[in-house]
Amino acid sequence: MLGMNEKLPPVIAPPPETGWGRGAVLLLILVGAAIVEIPAYLLWNRTARAERELASLSQRTQELQRQVVVVRSQADTAAVQASQAQESAAQAAHQRDQAEQAQAQSAQAAEQAQHQAALANQQANQAQQQAIQARQEAENLRAERQAQLDRLQAVLSKIASTRRTASGLVVSLDSNAIRFDFDKSTIRPGNRETLSRMAGVLMTLQGYQISVYGYTDDIGTTQYNQKLSERRAEAVRDYLVNAGVDPTMITSTGYGESDPLQKGDSAQARAKNRRVEIGITDSVLRMVGVVPPTGRSR
């Protein structure tokens, strides 16, 4: 409250109303609002547009990030594939080197095999030629020895009965050539001429083996006849050796009463079976396999 002695303030009279009045004021207010609102709208519009652009940029950024992830994944995959491809290339190169080395070794082995085959073929041809030559030489030798054996047979046939065998000749000194008395192995004086003539032929032989075989008749035991045949063979061998036949080329064997020349128990048959045979084998042809081993042959 004002004091009792204070003065009241002066009363200010309102300005007098003009022609604008309230309408002018309102217009001014609207104009001012428009001046304020229009920039605000423009600013809001720009802000909204910027937000939309920002959202679009964010979306594009996310899309680019996803693409970057995909590209990185693809890059990693490509790097792995490149590494694998490089490793495969290295393995392929190593395998190629091994293949080339194997091919070189194979070519070398093939060349060596071809050389060995050519050498073996040459050796086979040489062996074949040698075999042909050896067969030809053996055939020539066989023909030569057979001709010699033919001449020997012709000579011996004039002395005693002589026959051809697979391994040579057999001269049969039966009762027509020499005769042994019953139970005797002694050479009779009348038979010595025959054996001497036989020795004269045999002592000239070279490359032959002479075997003297003794036989008996069937009278007596087998054991006794065996011994008797051995003595008869030894008697003929000893005579031939003493007459000049090389003892290293002549042997004697007894066969007892086996292999009789004439069957039967007549005196004539038994006299014929009391005999000695002389086998002549070509040791040269036997050595080269042209004639069979030495053995008694009828």
Report d(CA 210, CA 297) in Å as an integer.
13
For the chain, which residues make up each domain, given as ranges?
145-287
User: What is the pTM (predicted TM-score) of this model?
Assistant: 0.55
| 41 touches 33 (CB < 8 A) | no
Instruction: Tell me the per-residue pLDDT of 215-274, one tens digit each, with 9 for 90 and over.
Output: 999 999 999 999 999 999 999 999 999 999 999 999 999 999 998 988 888 988 888 888
How many Cβ atoms from other residues are within 10 Å of residue 194's Cβ?
Answer: 17
CATH node for 145-287: 3.30.1330.60
Is residue 202 exposed (0-12), middle (13-18) or buried (19+ Cβ within 10 Å)? Answer: buried
| 276 touches 233 (CB < 8 A) | yes
Instruction: Tell me the per-residue pLDDT of 72-94, one tens digit each, with 9 for 90 and over.
Output: 888 788 778 877 878 877 887 88
Instruction: Tell me the per-residue pLDDT of 275-286, one tens digit each, with 9 for 90 and over.
Output: 899 999 988 766
Report d(CA 221, CA 45) in Å as an integer.
159
Report d(CA 46, CA 64) in Å as an integer.
26
Write the single-letter amino acid at 126. Q
Alpha-carbon distance values, 198 to 35, 63, 159, 188 (Å): 174, 132, 7, 15
Report d(CA 276, CA 229) in Å as an integer.
8
Report d(CA 298, CA 293) in Å as an integer.
14
